[in-house]
Structure 1
Amino acid sequence: MSNTDSAAAPHSSSSKKRSKFVQLCRTPWIPERLLQEYGGLCSFDTTFRRAGRMLQICWMRDHNIPNAIPDGKRNTHLGSYLSPDAADAGLNFLTPDIHLLALREMLLRERGAAYDFDRAVANSLSSQPLVFNAFGPLALNLTLATNVFRQLVPSFVQSVEKVLFEHSPGRRVDDPARDNRWLADRSAVDVALHVRTPEGESGIIYCEMKYSEDQTGPAARWRERYDEALKQVRLYKDPNSPVLRDVAIEQLTREHMLSQLAVDNGVTRRAMFIAIGPRLNRRVQTAFQVYANELLPVDDNDRSRVTFRHFTLETFIDAIDVAGDQATADQLWQRYCNFQRVYEAALSLLAPNAQPAAADGSAGEGQLDRKQDDKPRSRRRSSARTKSDQVAAAPEANRHGQ
């Protein structure tokens, strides 16, 4: 089995039906004037994060979710942050059930788990709420989880039996830093799905999810143990390759090693490591592909080896739709992947009298209402307001290697 190819869409192997979700060919450029008007201006944003921030602002406005912009403030990025009252009400999550699940997981977190509570409940652009919004419905409905992953990895999944968040098998020991079976750090994956394979064996799918990250760090402090583990796990063409230590790649390296060590140390008989990210986030997709190219081919007869697969977020959402939960799929698409929406908003700003059309030539979905937001905002002080643009707009903090 090759580790160098991204996974195909769910429809490709089992159905001729075309997905109802159609993505743009590239990330639309968002004019600065539009970002200023809606409170999405951040000089440190990549092209994708800039568009993603605008998409989150659109989603918040659609659902009448107050933002954290102080009255009269301009030239801010806080339009994508929820007001304190909205954050407390759980409006960063798609449903009340997902909000409650997220609270329970954060309160009953594994020892050493590195949740950022404020980011999870108040930052709409963060991948932390995305993890709960995407995998929460699966954790609450294991039949749905089974149907989704039987599409994505049919050779590995017969059924999904449990879903864990912010998980590390290395936390099973009293002192990971002194236990050379693991990585001597706090490395963890976003999600771990306990599954039953078609052969009836127990297995675990370890998953890392990205959204707006630009793959520039912060990175974990490199440890001698990592150098040892790179050779120990027997996953890489060249364990000394500097690519595996690069800031854009090293998190994938650590988490894949951790997944392999889970098998080697008897936590599970079989495992797979997967990564999920938006198709239009080129930095994320490039990191996945570059990492895959560092891996040795996997012998199909050697079930002790942990394979790596990477999927687009669009493919994951499509699998949820095909599995029968169209409502959740539609919600995820509108919030995280409908970049047609921000393309049309930008077009309506630059050509207000033009009839908007989809980037693929089809009719558009209509212009964004560009009236100033006159909804009352909370008078409580938002923790987001006290942060600088650079801190608040930074990619997800490295919660794994510290």
Structure 2
Amino acid sequence: MRHDPVPVPLLPRALLRAHHCDKPTDTRFRALARLAQSLWRSRQGLACGKATEPGTGRRRLLGSMLTPGAAKAGANFVDPALLPRVRRELVWREPGAVIEEQRLWGNLLSSQTLAFSLFLPLKHDLALATRTLAPLFPDLVGCVTGILLEHSPGRGHPAFTGDHTAFDVLVRCTTPDGLPAFLAIEMKYSEAPGGLATSPMPLLDDLSRTAGLYRDPDAPALRGGTLGQFWRQQLLAAAMLRQGPYQQGRVVVLAPAANNDIWQAVAAYTAQLQSPEPPASSFVAFTLETLLAQLDQAGGAAIAGPITARYLDFTPAYALLDQHLDGPA
């Protein structure tokens, strides 16, 4: 799970402003992803949408947003054939599922839209899902039996974590030995580590101490920001294994190779685990590129190709950067 940093440019603010992508709080990768999505939108012939600025309430053009009309038409999804399936997912979502529909349909940086675009086709082609995931998880995936989006086995239920922690995607499967198992997937795209520390939750603290996963189950670092999210998700997975019917499971983080901030958070979280080995730690992270390459090899080029081009091809942004640097001062 070792991941070397990928060079990401510090984009000039003048270049970002020219494409309505200047947000001072963006990390290097988020700024690059925002510009890449703005360029993708332009290539599709879609007008620039607006976003509301926090604090002031002012509406301004933002290159990574769609107009309401384009959002309603489903332009945020790389495959128009997915739209009926997306609508069905929204209608049949689990009670309490957190799906921000305005973001899902209109924000080009939404990792939830990415998760839907990638896993909804696999949900309806479990054979392709098996061919994709079994080589990546040979000890865990013998046959994929189902895929759920924005899933929790019991939001707020004391038999689990007692809070509203959920997984972006849950892949149900059987192991090569026929045991019931799961992959609990957290999808990241342009997100950066952050967030406030978790307020004291005795149920989570008790789970942390009895799970047998952490060097120091009471470590404050586990209770805030992105590490806190990984911690809560892994404790939910541990509770699922205790409650059944699953006998094996693993929390999986997916993120672009160039999102160095997320990979630093993954490394920091892994350092809190007693073992770095996925079978022992029940935790692993893969680059999104790795999964998409395996999907392509498994016969899913029609899915992997457009997603790779949309979310991971930064060459148009780099070309624009070169033009900007070579231009007049």
Q: Say whether the fold is shared (TM-score over 0.5).
A: yes
Q: CA deviation at 1:299?
A: 8.8
1:114 to 98, 110, 120: 98
Contact 2:274 / 2:281 at 8 angstroms: preserved in 1?
no
**Which digits, 9 at most, give the CA deviation of each residue in 1:219-267, with x for residues without a partner?**
6544222211101222111111222113230000000010011011113
Q: What corresponds to 1:187 in structure 2?
A: 165
2:149 to 165, 172, 191: 165
**Which digits, 9 at most, give the CA deviation of each residue in 1:153-185, with x for residues without a partner?**
1221111111100101124xxx62xx2x21111
Question: Equivalences for 1:316-355 in 2 at 5 Å?
Answer: 316-352=291-327
Q: CA deviation at 1:117?
A: 0.6
State yes or no: 1:236 paired with 2:214.
yes
Name the CA distance, whole Å, in 1 between partners of 2:277 and 2:283: 13
**Which digits, 9 at most, give the CA deviation of each residue in 1:263-296, with x for residues without a partner?**
1111312111111111111110111121112112
Contact 1:41 / 1:76 at 8 angstroms: preserved in 2?
no
Q: CA deviation at 1:101?
A: 2.1
**Which letter maps to 1:93?**
F
Q: CA deviation at 1:334?
A: 1.3
**Which letter maps to 1:170?**
G
Contact 1:30 / 1:343 at 8 angstroms: preserved in 2?
no
The alpha-carbon distance between structure 1 residues 100 and 222, as it changes in their structure 2 partners (threshold 3 A), is: farther
Name the CA distance, whole Å, in 1 between partners of 2:286 and 2:138: 14
State yes or no: 1:227 paired with 2:205.
yes
Q: Once the two structures are aligned, what percentage of the paired residues are identical?
A: 32
State yes or no: 1:62 paired with 2:37.
no
Name the CA distance, whole Å, in 2 between partners of 1:33 and 1:124: 21
Name the CA distance, whole Å, in 2 between partners of 1:190 and 1:62: 29
State yes or no: 1:43 paired with 2:18.
no
1:142 to 107, 126, 131: 126
State yes or no: 1:288 paired with 2:266.
yes
State yes or no: 1:266 paired with 2:218.
no
Q: Which runs of 5+ in 1 are unaligned?
A: 8-23, 354-402
Contact 2:250 / 2:282 at 8 angstroms: preserved in 1?
yes
TM-score (norm 1): 0.75
Contact 1:203 / 1:268 at 8 angstroms: preserved in 2?
yes
Name the CA distance, whole Å, in 2 between partners of 1:263 and 1:114: 23
1:95 to 69, 75, 79: 79
Q: CA RMSD in A?
A: 2.2
Name the CA distance, whole Å, in 2 between partners of 1:77 and 1:227: 44
For these two proteins, the number of residue pairs brought into alignment is: 320
The alpha-carbon distance between structure 1 residues 249 and 207, as it changes in their structure 2 partners (threshold 3 A), is: same
**Which letter maps to 1:43?**
P
SS at 2:63 equivalent = helix
Name the CA distance, whole Å, in 2 between partners of 1:328 and 1:64: 22
Q: What corresponds to 1:276 in structure 2?
A: 254
SS at 1:152 equivalent = coil
The alpha-carbon distance between structure 1 residues 155 and 48, as it changes in their structure 2 partners (threshold 3 A), is: same
Q: CA deviation at 1:102?
A: 2.1
Question: Equivalences for 1:305-316 in 2 at 5 Å?
Answer: 307-316=282-291
Name the CA distance, whole Å, in 2 between partners of 1:67 and 1:249: 34
Q: Which has the larger radius of gyration?
A: 1
Between Structure 1 and Structure 2, which shows a larger proportion of strand residues?
Answer: 2
Q: CA deviation at 1:104?
A: 1.6
2:89 to 105, 114, 117: 105
SS at 1:80 equivalent = strand
TM-score (norm 2): 0.91
Higher-RCO chain (CA-CA 8 Å, sequence separation at least 6): 1
SS at 1:169 equivalent = coil
Contact 1:209 / 1:277 at 8 angstroms: preserved in 2?
yes
The alpha-carbon distance between structure 1 residues 27 and 77, as it changes in their structure 2 partners (threshold 3 A), is: farther
Contact 1:68 / 1:78 at 8 angstroms: preserved in 2?
yes
Flag as ranges the 4+ runs of structure 1 deviating above 6 A: none
Q: What corresponds to 1:152 in structure 2?
A: 136
Q: CA deviation at 1:211?
A: 0.9
Name the CA distance, whole Å, in 2 between partners of 1:231 and 1:104: 40
Contact 2:34 / 2:64 at 8 angstroms: preserved in 1?
yes
Q: CA deviation at 1:90?
A: 0.7
The alpha-carbon distance between structure 1 residues 114 and 338, as it changes in their structure 2 partners (threshold 3 A), is: same
